[in-house]
A and B are shown apart, each in its own frame.
Chain A
Amino acid sequence: MTVKMKLFSYNLMDTFIHHLSGLTKLICFLFLTFAVMYSYDIRVILAITAFSIFLLLKSKIKFRQIRTMVLYVLIFILTNAIISFFFSPEMGVEIYGTRHDICKLYGRFYLTQEQLFYSLTKMVKYASVVPLGMIFLLTTNPSEFASSLNRVGTPYKASYAVALTLRYFPDIQRDYRDISQAQQARGLDLSRKAKFISRVKNSLLIVIPLIFSSLDRIELISNAMDLRGFGKGKSRTWYTAKKFNRQDILALTVSALIFIGSICVSVFINHSRFYNPFI
């Protein structure tokens, strides 16, 4: 059962994060992401991670909403760490310039404190982006997101296409399901039992009716939009656009400061993007 599947499971809540404008959230998201991406200082990264988890809690996002996503990210991060260890087990030693062996693993593979520290830093770095992305996706109304895109310079027709896609995606999905069921009743085999070539051919039997019924829909939508004046002006306003207020300015200032702070720590304290606890 996939009827309820949505691209954005945006939910309306009454928190200060939901009240921020989409544009603010987009810019803050970029600031904070760049801040953690730039720095390899685990102290900075942990601080930002803690901050973003705090925001996640504040925005009342339930764990079950993000469970699947978190799981995928964890698997990705672990695999990434293991693979990069096997490709360059000496990366940590190279970066930090010291060597503290913990034990010999196999052949030329030594586990070092430096490598462990480096891997840990990288894992936390990737993981810290997850709460930020989740907050942005789950607290931003898709139309407001479109309006934000428009305000940062994307042409409004392109921005509106984003909102339209989200609007009609479930409809197309429902059409697809209906067509697929009707074709299966006629005997179409979509299971893995069928040969690859015939599976490709068979999927055409669903795609063709889907295209034809979607063309009808597109004609209707474009007429409906023309009749209400879409595309007549060089610009348009947005019903969902939120005004900038004090909270937005506060949020932008805080994220900008975090971004600058992260760069300052690298430049003035660590004199490198890495924090080196070994010397």
Chain B
Amino acid sequence: MDEQVIIEFSDFSFQYYSQAEPTLHEINLKIHRGEKVLIVGPSGSGKSTLGHCINGLIPFSYKGAITGSLTIKGEDTQKKDIYELSKWVGTVLQDSDGQFVGLTAGEDIAFALENDNIPPEVMHERVRKVAEMVEMHYLLTSSPFELSGGQKQRTSLAGVMVDDVDILLFDEPLANLDPATGKTAIEIIDDIHQNSGKTILIIEHRLEDVLHRHVDRILVMKDGRIIADRDAHTLVSSDILVETGIREPLYVTALKYAGVDVSPEISPGYITTLKAEVTQTALTEWQDKIQSPPAKPKKPIILSLEDVHFSYDGIHPILQDINFDIQEGEIVSLVGKNGAGKSTLSKLICGFEKLDRGIIRYYGEDIKDKTIKERAEIIGVVLQNPNQMISKSLIFDEIALGLRFRDVPEEEIQERVEKVLKVCGLSPFRSWPISALSYGQKKRVTIASILVLGPRILILDEPTAGQDFRHYTEIMEFLEAINQLGVTIILITHDMHLMLEYSPRAIVLAGGRIVGDTAASVVLTNDAIIEKANLKETSLFNLAQMSHIPDGTRFVQRFIDYDRSVRHQ
């Protein structure tokens, strides 16, 4: 046996007992000691299942039929239990909050040691050491409520490294992080790889963000098979990403738009390695050809906030000096790091919380006397997790709920629900149980159940969180269609792509104040705003700079305009 192979799948297939079809088909894969491998694939491609097989959750927690073999460090995993595997494979799950089991960071890091009956004195020493590696040693007594998303993720990482595992498995590590924190996470993972030589597996569909640092190999999964296994340069040069429904890096899209032949010769795998000298002419010529779309005519102001202030306890301000106007029919992104006040702002607009000072106007009229229920008829809010909104078992009843609360006659309910079902593309599912729907469809149901009340403004919290590119596009195209019908849309999001592609304007919050209210292309190319709000500059801007294009912001805006015109053809 080859000493260097640490994980080996041979003709490995897996079928969940609850599924009719196998989720993994005849996987053959060798991963070598010390390699850093990225596994990408759309939802349902089997990439998470592959991860579960490696860390032992399959078959320990999720039962199913296994054929073929999987060996880790030369031993058949079928003969090992999850506890033995956990000594070799450390897993960092995507929800850094949910997996935080301790009441403090120190306890959480110590969790595996506690279960190993390590004496407390030894444990404290090891926890301190490993916490230093991820720079959490000064926060060991903090509770999860006091830690940021990034700090919680560092804690989880320390919690698996404390066992000195051989393999680190990251299951969608970027899912709940703001852009700057996600970038740091990738840097930390890379530093650990460099310093410890551990084998690293990253499961993630956000390819471009992971490629902020070097990876040795990228596996592309689709329908339970590995359809590609290559390095970053050859992968982004091929058509595989587009065909599998994985978003290619934005700068690669820009190169393709400009007619540049994207091939391994120009090292396009990472923005930092790209040989920009060959792309400069093509990009400049392309940019000059793009026509800016005509400016939209001014529309009446539908929502305005004047001098809004808010705090929960009267001492610590959550929002200060909030002023902005939103025009009828706009799509606006509300961005900023966790805790910047984005959700609070949406709660104030919906009337869930009361302002300390200031005025919120709807078509010029102060809405302070409107109840939550009355406001819901003009401003609808859709929570991030559809499971938090769905309370009926049938789609029709779920959507009709708000109307039934308002004692609307049953005939009118029929009519209005049918209309919304049609708008949302849910008519064929009208009498389906909601439990049979996919995540994206459930999301549509929750949006439909709000739209049925006829709001003119829709506020959505992370509408595409956790969605792959295809579902992301589906949801966003749907929202654009709703917007075309005249509904003004406010998106609360961490997703820089979403902001660039779908919202011409972004309002940026940091520390409870507005630090930017301008075009998305300006926000994502402005260092000061990026730093204050934990954002990350777009790779398009880097591309412009590397190609010596003088006005990077204009280049980004041109890209957006062109991209939009291509999408709408």
The reply to whether chain A is a binding partner of chain B is yes
Q: A residues touching B (Cβ–Cβ < 8 Å)?
A: 1, 3-4, 12, 141-143, 163-164, 166-167, 170-171, 175, 178-179, 181-189, 204-206, 208-210, 212-213, 216-217, 220-233, 235-241, 243
The answer to whether B453 touches A227 (Cβ under 8 A) is no
Min CB distance, A149 to chain B, in Å? 15
Q: B residues touching A (Cβ–Cβ < 8 Å)?
A: 55-57, 60-61, 82-83, 86, 91, 93, 95, 97-104, 106-107, 110-120, 123-124, 127, 141, 144-145, 159-160, 163, 312-313, 347, 350, 352, 372-373, 375-376, 380-381, 383, 385, 387-391, 401-402, 405-406, 449-450, 453
Residues of B within 8 A of A179 (CB): 383, 388-389
Q: Which of A1, A184, A220, A222 contacts B313 (CB 8 A)?
A: A1
The answer to whether B401 touches A228 (Cβ under 8 A) is no
Min CB distance, A239 to chain B, in Å? 4
Q: Which of B95, B99, B117, B402 contacts A186 (CB 8 A)?
A: B402
Q: Which residue of B lies closest to A202 (CB)?
A: B405
The answer to whether A209 touches B111 (Cβ under 8 A) is no
The answer to whether A187 touches B120 (Cβ under 8 A) is no
For A163, A178, A210, A212, the residue with the greatest tally of chain B CB atoms inside 10 Å of its CB is A178
Q: Which of A186, A224, A235, A240 contacts B98 (CB 8 A)?
A: A224
Residues of A within 8 A of B118 (CB): 237
A-B pairs, 10 with minimum CB distance: A187-B405, A224-B99, A239-B110, A186-B402, A185-B376, A229-B115, A232-B83, A228-B112, A220-B98, A205-B391
Residues of A within 8 A of B112 (CB): 228-229
The answer to whether A175 touches B115 (Cβ under 8 A) is no
The answer to whether B98 touches A221 (Cβ under 8 A) is yes
> Bound complex: CA of A230 vs CA of B117, how far in Å?
11
The answer to whether A221 touches B313 (Cβ under 8 A) is no
> Bound complex: CA of A217 vs CA of B82, how far in Å?
20
The answer to whether B57 touches A227 (Cβ under 8 A) is yes
> Bound complex: CA of A48 vs CA of B375, how far in Å?
58
Min CB distance, B124 to chain A, in Å? 7
**Contacts between the two chains (Cβ within 8 Å), count:** 162
Q: Which of A181, A226, A238 contacts B61 (CB 8 A)?
A: A226
Known contacts A167-B103, A224-B98, A227-B55; is-contact A213 B388 (Cβ 8 Å): yes
Min CB distance, B523 to chain A, in Å? 28
Residues of B within 8 A of A188 (CB): 405
> Bound complex: CA of A212 vs CA of B145, how far in Å?
23
Min CB distance, B325 to chain A, in Å? 23
Q: Which of B93, B107, B163 contacts A240 (CB 8 A)?
A: B107
The answer to whether B406 touches A236 (Cβ under 8 A) is no
Min CB distance, A62 to chain B, in Å? 17
> Bound complex: CA of A15 vs CA of B552, how far in Å?
59
> Bound complex: CA of A241 vs CA of B389, how far in Å?
41
The answer to whether B60 touches A226 (Cβ under 8 A) is yes
Residues of A within 8 A of B376 (CB): 185-187
Residues of B within 8 A of A4 (CB): 313
Min CB distance, B373 to chain A, in Å? 5
The answer to whether B141 touches A220 (Cβ under 8 A) is no
Q: Which of A220, A236, A239 contacts B95 (CB 8 A)?
A: A220
> Bound complex: CA of A1 vs CA of B213, how far in Å?
44
Min CB distance, A139 to chain B, in Å? 15
For A183, A208, A223, A239, the residue with the greatest tally of chain B CB atoms inside 10 Å of its CB is A239
8 contacts between A and B (CB under 8 A): A3-B312, A163-B103, A167-B103, A186-B405, A228-B160, A229-B86, A230-B111, A237-B113
For A167, A178, A182, A204, the residue with the greatest tally of chain B CB atoms inside 10 Å of its CB is A182
